[in-house]
Amino acid sequence: MKLADSNTTAAREKQMRDAEELLFTGAQKLGLAKGLFLGRFVADWVMPYPTIRPDEQRELDDALARLRSFLDQHLDPAAIDRQADIPRNVIDGLARLGVFGMTAPKEVGGSGMSQMAYCKVMEEIGSRCASTSIFVNVQHSIGMRALLLFGTEEQKRRWLPPLVSGEKLAAFALTEPEAGSDAANVQTTARPSADGAHFILNGEKRYITSGAIAQVLTVMARTPLGAPASGRPPAGGTSALPGETAVTAFLVTPDMPGFTVVEPRMEKLGIRGTATARLAFRDMPVPKENILGAPGKGLKVALTVLDFGRTTFGACCTGAAKTCLRLAVQHANTRRQFGKTLGEFELIKKKIARMAAGAYAMEAMTTVTASLIDRGLEDYMLETAMLKVFSTEALWMLVNESFQVHGGAAYFTDKPLERMLRDARINQIGEGANEVLTSFIALVGMRAPGEQFREMLEALQYPWGALRKVWLLGLDRVGAAVLAPEVPVRSPQVKPYAERLGEFVRRFNVEVDRALIKYREDILDRQYVQERFARAAMELFASACVLSRWDAELQADDSNSAADGVSSSPAELFIRGSFRRARRSLAEMHENDDTTTTAVADAVLKSGGSV
């Protein structure tokens, strides 16, 4: 029994260490999303609604006009899907337009474009072809971005110009047979060579977009901590235990001996134009100078880069969502059944309105999240995770609703919706499975209130020495539980919703505190609870972004206010529905089917699937 208890304790300690590495590396700042879990509304992260500078807007308009002209002439999404390949002339044309380096500094050949502006470029590509938008996202927002953020000056001079120009293609190799959503479980190894000049990589990667066609790959591999061949001490200066390893990022080229393409183009359901590869490294020597970022901090590289990729991913989903809405509206306005156009039937109206509200919210969330990057703010990983989960699920809803409006016609290949349906399914899996990100959102969000409770408990053990600290922490928690934060808006039409949002933030914080007191460390295993908090937090974040956008639009133009007092803005429809969904998530903290759900699942798993 003691041995079992010891093993359980050791496993929990390892789980805590892994969670710390994955969830809590880097600076911890109180932004909009984290503030919600403390009962605060960090207004300046979302209000006023961000806009692109006028001078950059003119440059963006010109860039979009050139891009649209090129895509109209040369991009054939149906042919890309049928042939399972993006033609070289399309790649070269996008390179000539500067698409692969738009946010890169001008010194390395880029355009120096803001993240907000670049999201508009990706929205345009995403509205037409998912394969092409994912290819560009890997090249620019993941592949090149790792070098921009973590490369040394020498690495940037050497590697960035050909990636920015499109002369060379990039890939990001993290996923393995044992390391998908569990990114910390990378098994590819990199051991120092005897002379200390190289690391010898051995392992396999799979599902790597552009893996077989890229000339520069960022590869994650497990290195011994404190390996002398790194040429640098372990990050943080901590001493390593014998045999301890950590993930390190390497810059790899396919001409390195031992680099093997096992499968250049894996057959798949959707995004068929992307070249998704399986790779192997067999005693492959990589110069120590090719380490990207700090040794042992490869997961930080990966997670930081994914923040950028998820933002442009949200833009791609927004573009596709607008296409789904446009196709549904065109069909509803022209298709007649039972003597009416489809758009005259209430159930079709409901679908169109729901789609419009979803697309509106996706664009608002993408714009706000991109602006956080442009402003140089730190620690927006929760916002990008929320955007990824929300936008991919919203797009799946929009594709299905548009499909249903079209009826049987959508099922056939002469319409784009069957391709869009296949393409959209991967979005909830790639760049972090939505289930994993849901737990991530909840656990990272609950860390700050959890730390406050821990500090209070520790201080209460020595009350005379820490009375002031206990008093201040107690006041903070009580204040958040009693007082709803202000959500500053300017338009009278929006103020009632702003007040309700503030009240929801207060109620959300109360439920978070209750759960932390009830479950304490066991909250790590309570995924039903995590999901409810993550869902509620996403709705509050989405509502804040929509409220900000709606308020700005009303200030600029009051045409959204109907004469009969009924708003025709999709913003109001979205906020009303979002509040209901948030309320439902919080109510399920107290009335749910968790015990029965677990019992049924355990029985079915044990029976091998019999019901």
Q: Find the range with the poorest average confidence among 96-100, 238-242, 607-611.
A: 238-242
CA dist., res. 303 & res. 24, Å (int) = 11
CA dist., res. 463 & res. 320, Å (int) = 58
CA 329: distance to chain centroid?
29
Using the predicted structure, report yes or no on whether residue 181 has a pLDDT greater than 90. Answer: no
Using the predicted structure, report yes or no on whether residue 237 has a pLDDT greater than 50. Answer: no
> Which of 3.10.180.10, 2.40.110.10, 3.60.21.10, 3.90.700.10 would CATH assign to domain 171-300?
2.40.110.10
Do domains 11-46+436-604 and 303-408 share one topology? The answer is yes
Using the predicted structure, report yes or no on whether residue 474 has a pLDDT greater than 80. Answer: no
Q: What tokens appear for 23 in the block?
A: 């969830």
Report, as an integer, the average pLDDT of 569-578.
97
Report, as an integer, the average pLDDT of 245-263.
97
pLDDT at 10: 54
The CATH superfamily assigned to 11-46+436-604 is Butyryl-CoA Dehydrogenase, subunit A, domain 3 (1.20.140.10)
Which has the higher per-residue pLDDT, 242 or 416?
Answer: 416
CA dist., res. 124 & res. 128, Å (int) = 7
Domain range summary for the chain, segments of one domain joined by +:
11-46+436-604, 54-167, 171-300, 303-408
In the chain, what percentage of residues exceed pLDDT 70? Answer: 87
CA dist., res. 350 & res. 354, Å (int) = 6
Length in residues, the chain = 611
> Which of 1.10.3720.10, 1.20.1090.10, 1.10.540.10, 3.40.50.2300 would CATH assign to domain 54-167?
1.10.540.10
Report, as an integer, the average pLDDT of 239-257.
86
Using the predicted structure, report yes or no on whether residue 409 has a pLDDT greater than 80. Answer: yes
pLDDT at 184: 83
Of 35-49, 177-191, 553-567, the range with the highest mean pLDDT is 35-49
SS3 87: coil
Q: What tokens appear for 332 in the block?
A: 């509803």
CA dihedral sign of residues 158, 162, 168, 170: positive
Name residue 179's beta-bridge partners.
176
The fold of 303-408 is: Butyryl-CoA Dehydrogenase, subunit A; domain 3 (1.20.140)
Using the predicted structure, report yes or no on whether residue 475 has a pLDDT greater than 80. Answer: no
Residues 6+ apart with CB under 8 A from 479: 39
The amino acid occupying position 136 is V
The amino acid occupying position 100 is F
Q: Which residues participate in catalysis according to the annotation?
A: 431
Helices (H), 84-202: 88-96, 115-126, 130-137, 145-150, 153-165
pLDDT at 232: 47
Using the predicted structure, report yes or no on whether residue 583 has a pLDDT greater than 50. Answer: yes
CA angle 480, 482, 483 (to 5 degrees): 70
Q: Find the range with the poorest average confidence among 155-169, 314-328, 362-376, 447-461.
A: 447-461
Report, as an integer, the average pLDDT of 584-602.
97
Using the predicted structure, report yes or no on whether residue 115 has a pLDDT greater than 60. Answer: yes
Mean pLDDT across the chain: 90
**451: pLDDT confidence band, cut at 50, 70 and 90?**
confident
CB 589 within 8 A of CB 511: yes
First to last CA, the chain: 36
Report, as an integer, the average pLDDT of 157-169.
94
CA dihedral sign of residues 286, 289, 291, 294: positive
pLDDT per residue over 560-572, tens digit each? Answer: 555 556 678 999 9
Residues 6+ apart with CB under 8 A from 186: 174, 176, 179, 220, 221, 222, 247, 298
